[in-house]
């Protein structure tokens, strides 16, 4: 196992292998076998740096081999970490599988991340390279790479598109080389944690565990050859990547269609043109789609399943999916650390609409416990703990944090507050972690607070969620100024200059002279949220 990652204890690994969940297959082999079986089927549809792309499985397999040779020639090796920050472009697949083939480990950043986050990933993972688009959504990623030149040299910045002084993905030597297959029980990739602390955590996922999670997900979702998955969310999120997502589609011999944007004006024409059968959205987008579908002139009749997850989808909205879109709704309650719950397509209506489903695997162990760690009976609310064949046993290089985030016997403390029904379905009731879920984007309060504290006019800062009709939650920073309060706009500009993703910039900043405290002298975020709700209601 890669140093810094935590293996499963051998007895569990043996159990998952015996059950046939861990198949001893690497990503490299997965694509090879898919190409052998589905060679002429279309694997990927999207807009690449050089125009529209429709790659068959055989073509993707060949491209991965060529790029793998190029990456080797550049000096990349087995177990090198590589920060991959690509939007929904076909090159994403080429890059991932080329890295898998040489045994290098992609660390998936979001297109929205900026210098503070990317710099941290590059340093924490001691990355050997950084992969970017030239421009995306009006932003020049090469300028960002230039800012990070102390963390990654220009020749190790790989660009999909116009490379300028960096290395063009398309310009690497392409004579295929013989590459040994890697170890399926080792780390294949790293996902990002939504996080609750000052620094984001990296989630090492192995070939065995990740492949199991998306194969089993594809089965649960009825994805098969001929099926078409629309990747509307940013592909590097765990949900569209693996639940079942683009990797699940690949394992099933289906087609992945990459939407550059998730809005109906972009996604609906793609659904019509490509006869999309399944897609996954976060709740705010699902609401926008439901609205737009009422008046659209596009034919959405190919859609069989609309998955909604990442944040709680209300029962009322879920009940509108079939009448409006004419397809099944599937709720997905997952996490990049592992555990994914789905409502099943043949569940009764009240389960599909009113719960967040149940785990993928009979080997997923789920506990719902009270504040003292004692199991509570079905129907009662408690903290969700989980352990299983695709839930990590530790974050990457984070011993201290791991001691708190996992129980001594290896259960991951999800920070979610749930209730389990008598039938074993989970209902998400809330959250005990210090995180804001802004329409599916997770924001660690402490991370934003630390950035605010760096401002000379900020004495103290507390970031909390405030309810929002559209996004579910928005962020509000409550700041105790040092002296004259700075302008909220100036503080936002300050955060932007520090290089954090714009979704983390507080939607509101308000000032106060003190915080409510808990009995033990910590800031009581619960009281703060309540006080804010009153204050914001009065402001209206
Ligand atoms: C309420 N809260 C939810 C839901 C996630 C599939 C789907 C989602 C994610 C994801 C994922 C929720 N209702 N339906 O990785 O593979 C909140 C919980 C959870 C956290 C994880 C996947 N679905 N959540 O959202 O790592 O608080 O993964 O612990 O981004 O999102 O966030 P993330």
At residue 137, the pLDDT reads: 96
Which protein residue's CA is at the shortest distance from atom 16 of ligand 1? Answer: 239
Confidence band for 177, pLDDT divided at 50, 70 and 90: confident
pLDDT > 70 in the chain, percent: 100
> Does the bond joining 419 to the residue before it have cis omega, within 30 degrees of 0?
no
pLDDT > 90 in the chain, percent: 96
Which protein residue's CA is at the shortest distance from atom 20 of ligand 1? Answer: 335
Q: Can you count the helices (H) and strands (E) in the chain?
A: 17, 27
Beta bridge partners of 330: 307
3 state SS of 6? coil
Output the pTM of the full model.
0.98
Asked if 152 contacts 145 with a C-beta cutoff of 8 angstroms, the reply is yes
**Chain centroid, CA 189 distance in Å:** 12
CA dist 58 → 25, 170, 331, 512 (Å): 19, 19, 33, 61
CA dist 223 → 32, 91, 275, 276, 371 (Å): 19, 23, 14, 11, 40
CA of 213, closest atom in ligand 1:
16
- What mean pLDDT comes out for the span 238-264? 98
Q: Write the pLDDT tens digit of every residue in 436-461.
A: 999 999 999 999 999 999 999 999 99
Q: How far is the CA of 529 from the centre of ligand 1 (A)?
A: 22
Confidence band for 8, pLDDT divided at 50, 70 and 90: very high
Question: What residues contact 127, with CB distance under 8 A and at least 6 apart?
Answer: 80, 81, 82, 83, 107, 121, 151, 152
Minimal CA–CA distance to 109: which of 97, 119, 94?
Answer: 119
Structure tokens at 217: 């997900």
Q: How far is the CA of 285 from the centre of ligand 1 (A)?
A: 15
Ligand 1, CB cutoff 6 Å, lining residues: 194, 238-239, 242-243, 309-312, 331-336, 340, 356, 414, 416, 428, 431, 437, 442
Q: Flag whether pLDDT at 174 surpasses 90.
A: no
Q: Write the pLDDT tens digit of every residue in 82-122.
A: 999 999 999 999 999 999 999 999 999 999 999 999 999 99
Which protein residue's CA is at the shortest distance from atom 25 of ligand 1? Answer: 310
Q: Write the pLDDT tens digit of every residue in 361-405.
A: 999 999 999 999 999 999 999 999 999 999 999 999 999 999 999
The sign one gets for the Cα dihedral 241, 247, 249, 252 is negative
CA of 441, closest atom in ligand 1:
30
Q: How far is the CA of 341 from the centre of ligand 1 (A)?
A: 9
At residue 539, the pLDDT reads: 76
Confidence band for 176, pLDDT divided at 50, 70 and 90: confident
Structure tokens at 324: 């409006």
Q: Which of 282, 334, 416 to mutate to test the pocket of ligand 1 (most atoms within 8 A of CB)?
A: 334
Q: Write the pLDDT tens digit of every residue in 144-164.
A: 999 999 999 999 999 999 999
Rounded CA separation 92/47 (Å)? 11
Asked if 65 contacts 99 with a C-beta cutoff of 8 angstroms, the reply is no
Q: Which of 309, 321, 368, 438 to mutate to test the pocket of ligand 1 (most atoms within 8 A of CB)?
A: 309
Q: Flag whether pLDDT at 334 surpasses 90.
A: yes
Q: Flag whether pLDDT at 67 surpasses 90.
A: yes
Q: How far is the CA of 440 from the centre of ligand 1 (A)?
A: 7
**Chain centroid, CA 524 distance in Å:** 29
Q: How far is the CA of 202 from the centre of ligand 1 (A)?
A: 16
What mean pLDDT, rounded, does the chain reach? 97
Give the CA diameter of the chain: 68
Q: Write the pLDDT tens digit of every residue in 48-63.
A: 999 999 999 999 999 9
Q: How far is the CA of 337 from the centre of ligand 1 (A)?
A: 10
In this prediction, the answer to ipTM > 0.85 reads yes
At residue 336, the pLDDT reads: 98
Token pair 């993703």: residue: 501
Q: Flag whether pLDDT at 300 surpasses 80.
A: yes
Q: Flag whether pLDDT at 540 surpasses 80.
A: no
């Amino acid at each position: 196992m890669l140093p810094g990652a935590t293996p499963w204890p051998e007895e569990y690994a043996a159990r998952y292998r015996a059950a046939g969940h861990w198949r001893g297959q690497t990503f490299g082999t997965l694509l090879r076998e898919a190409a052998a079986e589905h060679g002429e089927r279309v694997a990927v549809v999207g807009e690449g740096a050089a125009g529209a792309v429709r790659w068959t499985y055989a073509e993707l397999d060949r491209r991965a081999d060529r790029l793998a040779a190029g990456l080797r020639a550049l000096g990349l090796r087995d177990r090198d970490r590589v920060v991959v920050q690509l939007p929904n472009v076909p090159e994403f697949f080429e890059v991932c599988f080329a890295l898998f083939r040489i045994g290098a480990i992609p660390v998936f950043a979001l297109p929205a991340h900026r210098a503070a986050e990317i710099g941290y990933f590059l340093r924490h993972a001691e990355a050997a390279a950084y992969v970017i688009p030239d421009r995306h959504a009006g932003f020049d990623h090469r300028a960002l790479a230039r800012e990070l030149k102390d963390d990654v040299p220009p020749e190790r910045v790989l660009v999909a598109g116009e490379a300028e002084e960096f290395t063009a993905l398309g310009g690497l030597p392409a004579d295929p080389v013989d590459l040994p297959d890697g170890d399926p029980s080792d780390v294949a990739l790293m996902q990002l944690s939504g996080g609750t602390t000052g620094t984001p955590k990296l989630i090492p996922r192995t070939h065995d565990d990740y492949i199991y999670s998306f194969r089993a997900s594809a089965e649960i979702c009825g994805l098969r050859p001929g099926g078409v998955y629309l990747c509307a969310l940013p592909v590097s999120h765990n949900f569209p990547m693996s639940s079942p997502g683009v990797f699940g589609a690949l394992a099933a011999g289906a087609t992945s269609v990459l939407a550059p944007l998730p809005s109906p004006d972009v996604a609906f024409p793609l659904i019509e043109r490509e006869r999309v059968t399944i897609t996954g959205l976060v709740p705010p987008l699902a609401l926008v789609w439901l609205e737009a579908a009422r008046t659209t002139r596009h034919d959405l009749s190919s859609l069989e399943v609309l998955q909604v997850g990442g944040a709680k989808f209300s029962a009322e909205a879920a009940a509108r999916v079939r009448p409006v879109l004419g397809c099944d709704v599937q709720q997905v309650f997952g996490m990049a650390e592992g555990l994914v719950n789905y409502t099943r397509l043949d569940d009764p209506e009240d389960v599909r609409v009113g719960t967040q489903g149940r785990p993928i695997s009979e080997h997923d162990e789920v506990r719902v416990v009270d504040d003292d760690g004692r199991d509570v009976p079905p129907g009662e609310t408690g903290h969700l703990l989980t352990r299983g064949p695709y839930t990590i046993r530790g974050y990457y290089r984070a011993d201290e944090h791991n001691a708190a985030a996992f129980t001594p016997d290896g259960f991951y403390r999800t920070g979610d507050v749930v209730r389990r029904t008598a039938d074993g379905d989970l209902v998400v009731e809330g959250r005990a972690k210090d995180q804001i879920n802004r329409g599916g984007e997770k924001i660690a309060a402490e991370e934003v607070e630390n950035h605010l504290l760096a401002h000379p006019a900020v004495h103290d800062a507390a970031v909390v969620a405030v309810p929002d009709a559209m996004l579910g939650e928005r962020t509000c920073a409550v700041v105790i100024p040092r002296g004259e309060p700075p302008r909220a706009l100036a503080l936002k500009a300050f955060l932007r200059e520090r290089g954090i993703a714009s979704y983390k910039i507080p939607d509101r900043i308000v000032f106060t002279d003190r915080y409510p405290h808990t009995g033990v002298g910590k800031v009581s975020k619960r009281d703060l949220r309540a006080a804010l709700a009153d204050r914001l209601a009065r402001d209206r």
